[in-house]
Structure 1
Amino acid sequence: MREQIETADRRRLLSRLAGDYHVQTARRAATFMSRDIVTDMTILAITRANVRQITASPEPVAYTYEGVAGVPADGLRIPVSVYALAKDLGLPYENIRRRVKKLLDAGVCITVDGGVVIPGATVVRQSNLDLIAETQIATEKFVAEAGRFGVTAAQHYRPPTADLPKQIIRLAMNYFLDATTFTAKGMKVDVVAVLVLRAINMANISHVTHDPALAVTYAGMEEILPHEARQPTSVYSVGRFLHLPYETARRAVIRLEERGLVQRGPKGLFVSPDVVTRPDVLEGMLYLVALTEAYLKDLARVGIAYRPNPGSPG
């Protein structure tokens, strides 16, 4: 698939689609979980660490818990320390320690020898099941849109199993965490600022991202959307979109302005064309493209791929 993207030079197109999917994933997590994105990422990081060894194989997971397919039993979950979580998320230890304590007090996670785990009883709460269902819908839409724009991993397709929703949520959450933490490290900002930056950029270019003609026009590495074609947004709009308190969003925007990643114009906030050609931003974009290519392959292997002629082989 890499050859297909680079031959047609769909890299910026794919990075825009991926960026939109990435920030929408953050919004979904905040909608169905705690409405605090760092707490939500802490929950996801705990869950990932707990089942990393169990779900390392790309083959469907057959474990059951209280009759719900694909939920590994509590005794199989690997505990994780607060220190490891803070390192994984690139956040201060005390920041994560406070959030883990709140999660423990709320019964979202429990303490066992070696650290904390998210028990199966939490995984099967209705809010989490709703998140799983919404993530499957959004992921299928993302795969279909990328396919229509010329990016597909259909050659890796395998028929889905009954465990498909859980397979998708595991892959989606891994993708979300990896895309967020890598970008934060590369741009030397925190994970909240990364999501605010992505939300601003997506607001600036959303009219291009999903328009077939404009998306292809601005598809390649050299096809950068000019300043006058970008649609500015506001701190209030970004905070509301990500379910962030206004003050949290405002402080994140200030940090991004200090790094020269966001500018404030008379009509609002925008990411300028100059920013998207910076070496650190280009590196992040190319990483996102590579991560998305791998993600599309993994999704195809569990049964989600763009197949305009599903009756044909592959």
Structure 2
Amino acid sequence: MPEADAPAVPNDVSRHVMRLGGDFFLSASQIITTSIDADLVTGVIFLAIVRANVRHLLGEPGLAAAYFEPGDLPPEALRRPVSVYAVARELHLPYETARRHIGKLLAAGLCVRGGDGGVVVPAEVNDRENVRAAVRTNFQATVRFVQALADAGVTPTCGPAPGAAEKMAYLPREVVRLSSAYFLDAVELLMTNMDLQLVEGLMFLAVVRANTLHVTLDPALAATFSGVDEIPPDELRKTVSINNLARELSLPYETARRHAHKLIDAGICRRKPDRGLVVPAEVHAREGFKRGVIQTFEMTQGFVNDLAAAGLILRPTGS
């Protein structure tokens, strides 16, 4: 069930919210990889480093204000390096995999060595035009996602925090911080509940999205299959090819093929006669998956509240 402070909604919309979230997560992954011209794993590691560098700011209002000063970027002195080991552990990656991808970021000048052998994404990188463009694109994608949530009945349970109006000029930067944290926390939740590694987890999300995107976009179908126990039947699911998954996730085909077979071998995906993949209804009905649906709903409500506190409040269309 949603947390006690969650808003009243007409009925259980947690599964619909998870489908909307999956679409948002995949959009976020494309924004990341495009902005730094990297593959999916490197892009997610970049995001994790950025968050780790400034995570300590979040609990200290005086420091967090650095996000909203002219220039709106925390100075180098406030960024804390993160070790390769910590990144690997957070993303459920083998150490060597994390080390290799961080090596790519170092070679590309997207991060630098900091104290104690850790790595930092410097302010100069965050201030590049391609990253700023990604901030704007992310803001637009987040607005669309939050509007879809509002139309589904998921609205803030709080209003803007004091001083939010004065900070509105820097809202996109704050939104990208919040949405990055939401993305990484959701990936962590997926990997934990489904016992998947990073690439397998994101491929799983991409398969689920492709199987039921038409359900998400059709108001009647979305309403019919909105609750945690209201699972679209297998005959309603559309298959997706490994080639399309590789293209959507910016993965080499062989990498996508290898991880797809891991999902098949684990009984999470099935290959249909057309060679496309589906995550069958039986998997969606597993207790671990249903628990993840509910937890994702609660996490999403918290995300909407955090955005509202920052000044981004959207109401249902036409209200």
Q: Same fold by TM-score, threshold 0.5 exceeded?
A: yes
Alpha-carbon distance, 1:211 to partner:
2.1
Distance 1:121 1:281 in 2: 41
User: Which residue is 2:26 aligned to?
Assistant: 23
Distance 1:41 1:188 in 2: 18
Distance 1:308 1:286 in 2: 22
Alpha-carbon distance, 1:100 to partner:
1.6
Change in 2 beyond 3 A, CA 1:119/1:259:
same
User: Which residue is 1:137 aligned to?
Assistant: 140
User: Alignment partner of 2:281: what SS?
Assistant: coil
User: Which residue is 1:34 aligned to?
Assistant: 37
Change in 2 beyond 3 A, CA 1:303/1:28:
same
User: Which residue is 2:156 aligned to?
Assistant: 153
| 1:11 aligns to 2:14 (yes or no) | yes
Change in 2 beyond 3 A, CA 1:71/1:270:
same
User: Alignment partner of 1:306: what SS?
Assistant: coil
User: Which residue is 1:77 aligned to?
Assistant: 79
Return the match for 1:53 from 48, 51, 56: 56
Alignment of 1:116-265 (within 5 A): 116-153=119-156, 155-158=158-161, 159-160=164-165, 161=167, 162-265=169-272
Aligned AA (2:186): A
User: Alignment partner of 2:16: what SS?
Assistant: helix
Aligned AA (1:246): Y
Query: Contact 1:184 / 1:191 at 8 angstroms: preserved in 2?
Result: yes
User: Alignment partner of 1:274: what SS?
Assistant: helix
Distance 2:136 2:71 in 1: 14
Q: Which moved more, 1:219-228 or 1:27-36?
A: 27-36
Alpha-carbon distance, 1:59 to partner:
8.6
Query: Contact 1:61 / 1:163 at 8 angstroms: preserved in 2?
Result: no
Query: Contact 1:196 / 1:238 at 8 angstroms: preserved in 2?
Result: yes
Query: Contact 1:205 / 1:230 at 8 angstroms: preserved in 2?
Result: yes
Change in 2 beyond 3 A, CA 1:35/1:309:
closer
User: Alignment partner of 1:231: what SS?
Assistant: coil
User: Which residue is 2:291 aligned to?
Assistant: 283
Two-structure CA RMSD over aligned residues (Å): 2.3
Distance 2:223 2:119 in 1: 46
Query: Contact 2:81 / 2:120 at 8 angstroms: preserved in 1?
Result: yes
Query: Contact 1:63 / 1:70 at 8 angstroms: preserved in 2?
Result: yes
Q: Deviations over 1:237-294 (max 9, x none)?
A: 1111111111111111111111111110013111111110112212222221121111
Q: Deviations over 1:171-212 (max 9, x none)?
A: 111111111122112212211111111111101100111222
Change in 2 beyond 3 A, CA 1:5/1:213:
farther
Alpha-carbon distance, 1:60 to partner:
9.4
Query: Contact 1:11 / 1:219 at 8 angstroms: preserved in 2?
Result: yes
Distance 2:266 2:37 in 1: 29
Aligned AA (2:101): R
Equivalent pairs: percent with the same residue? 37
Q: Please, which runs of 5 or more residues in structure 2 have no aligned partner?
A: none
| 1:292 aligns to 2:300 (yes or no) | yes
User: Alignment partner of 2:56: what SS?
Assistant: coil
- Say how many residue pairs are matched: 310
User: Alignment partner of 1:209: what SS?
Assistant: helix
Distance 1:241 1:26 in 2: 9
Change in 2 beyond 3 A, CA 1:5/1:15:
farther
Distance 2:74 2:261 in 1: 42
Query: Contact 1:263 / 1:272 at 8 angstroms: preserved in 2?
Result: yes
Alpha-carbon distance, 1:57 to partner:
5.0
- TM-score for the superposition, normalised by structure 2: 0.90
Q: Please, which runs of 5 or more residues in structure 1 have no aligned partner?
A: none
- TM-score for the superposition, normalised by structure 1: 0.92
